[in-house]
Amino acid sequence: MKYELKSERVFDIIAIGRACIDLNATEYNRPMEETMTFTKYVGGSPVNIAIGSSKLGLKTGFIGKLADDQHGRFIANYIQNLGIDTTGVVIDRAGHKTGLAFTEIKSPEECSILMYRDNVADLYLEPSEVDEDYIRQTSTLLVSGTALSQSPSREAVLKAVSLARKHNVKVIFELDYRPYTWNSIEETAIYYALVAEQADIVIGTRDEFDILEHRKGENEQTIAYLFQHLPQLIVIKHGVEGSYAYTKIGQRFQSKAYITQVLKTFGAGDSYASAFLYALFAGKDIETALKYGSASASIVVSKHSSSEAMPTVNEIEQLITADEKEAQYR
């Protein structure tokens, strides 16, 4: 079964939300208290997805607010050099700062993120800074849940979603739940539901769907709820246990995670989303798209960064083929 995304506009994907800095512990397998050096990368879920998509050859743009500082300029240069369109990027003139994510890698299983996100420029994107003509040029709009956590970014995103609907742009909602940017779980559930009900594709982990539904649920309950609304395709990730895709017409697809030598666990979701979406644009069926997402995530969790480590199509396909060959001998 296919859910085809058509590459018929100037952009395949425009992502909206944060572009920040990841500072990943250079000496890993220890607590952050004992880490003396960090390596700098571009980070932030939606820009990571834009980077991953662009590396896979999709025509990609980004809408977001960058701080007028060294970090903001580093991010802008990095994404421009990758060929991501930055027409929708706005520079903050009010002194807000770039968000920082320090990552702790205690062991491959024990990773955490220490985020510095007070007064971050990305959450100051104004509705007036979202341009209708830009949105109408894309086939899909990728919305990050964190961008809904505070005003005015929340209203900017709601405006983008409404323009997307007006211009027949498919809305992809990546739940991307970061607890520290929200005031309460009740508030998160309200805005998540608002956007999820209007999205065409919703992607998240099982835990993130629990936040959206404000209850501990099962996949079957989630799809029964969301398929009463606009979504056509729902992807629910279960970490190393694999992932599922459900269609409105009642199909269910599944992929395992590709076992690898894990260095750290973050970056999995963003690389998964870019490769899954790439595969839908490439005309692959949903089951194959799940494999692309899972293989891409497996590659990224074996490397040090989230953004820089985003794989090429060739790397993803080699991993899938090698796994299939190996399965013949198992």
Ligand X SMILES: Nc1ncnc2c1ncn2[C@@H]1O[C@H](COP(=O)(O)OP(=O)(O)O)[C@@H](O)[C@H]1O
Partners of 237 in the beta sheet?
205, 243
Among 100, 160, 236, 268, binds ligand LHLMWEOZ (CB under 6 A): 268
| Strand blocks (E) in 107-239 | 111-116, 138-144, 170-174, 201-205, 233-237
296 near ligand LHLMWEOZ, rule: CB under 6 A: no
Binding mask 99-118 for ligand LHLMWEOZ (x = CB under 6 A): --x-----------x-----
- Which one, 137 or 205, has the nearer CB to ligand X? 205
267 near ligand LHLMWEOZ, rule: CB under 6 A: yes
CB of 165 to ligand X, least distance (A): 25
Other CB atoms within 10 Å distance of the CB of residue 205:
20
Which window, 41-49, 210-218, 231-239, 275-283, contacts ligand LHLMWEOZ (CB under 6 A)? 41-49
24, 39 Cβ separation under 8 angstroms: yes
CB of 200 to ligand LHLMWEOZ, least distance (A): 21
- Which one, 85 or 270, has the nearer CB to ligand X? 270
Q: Which does 297 bind (CB under 5 to 8 A by kind): ligand X, ligand LHLMWEOZ, none?
A: ligand X
48 near ligand LHLMWEOZ, rule: CB under 6 A: yes
240 near ligand LHLMWEOZ, rule: CB under 6 A: no
Among 12, 92, 200, 270, binds ligand LHLMWEOZ (CB under 6 A): 270
17 near ligand LHLMWEOZ, rule: CB under 6 A: no
Give the span between the Cα atoms of 295 and 309, in whole angstroms. Answer: 13
Residues near ligand X (CB under 6 A): 205, 237, 239-240, 242-243, 257-258, 260, 262, 265, 268-269, 272, 294, 297-298, 301
Structure tokens at 330: 């198992």
Kindly tell me the sign of the dihedral angle through the C-alpha atoms of 187, 103, 81, 302.
negative
Per the document, the length of the chain is 330
123, 66 Cβ separation under 8 angstroms: no
Q: Find the farthest-apart pair of alpha carbons in the chain and give their distance in angstroms, rounded.
A: 61
Q: Which strand ranges, in their side-by-side order, compose the sheet holding 20-25?
A: 38-43, 20-25, 100-105, 111-116
- Which one, 137 or 149, has the nearer CB to ligand LHLMWEOZ? 149
Q: Which strand ranges, in their side-by-side order, compose the sheet holding 138-144?
A: 89-91, 60-66, 11-16, 138-144, 170-174, 201-205, 233-237, 243-247, 252-255
- Which one, 163 or 273, has the nearer CB to ligand LHLMWEOZ? 273
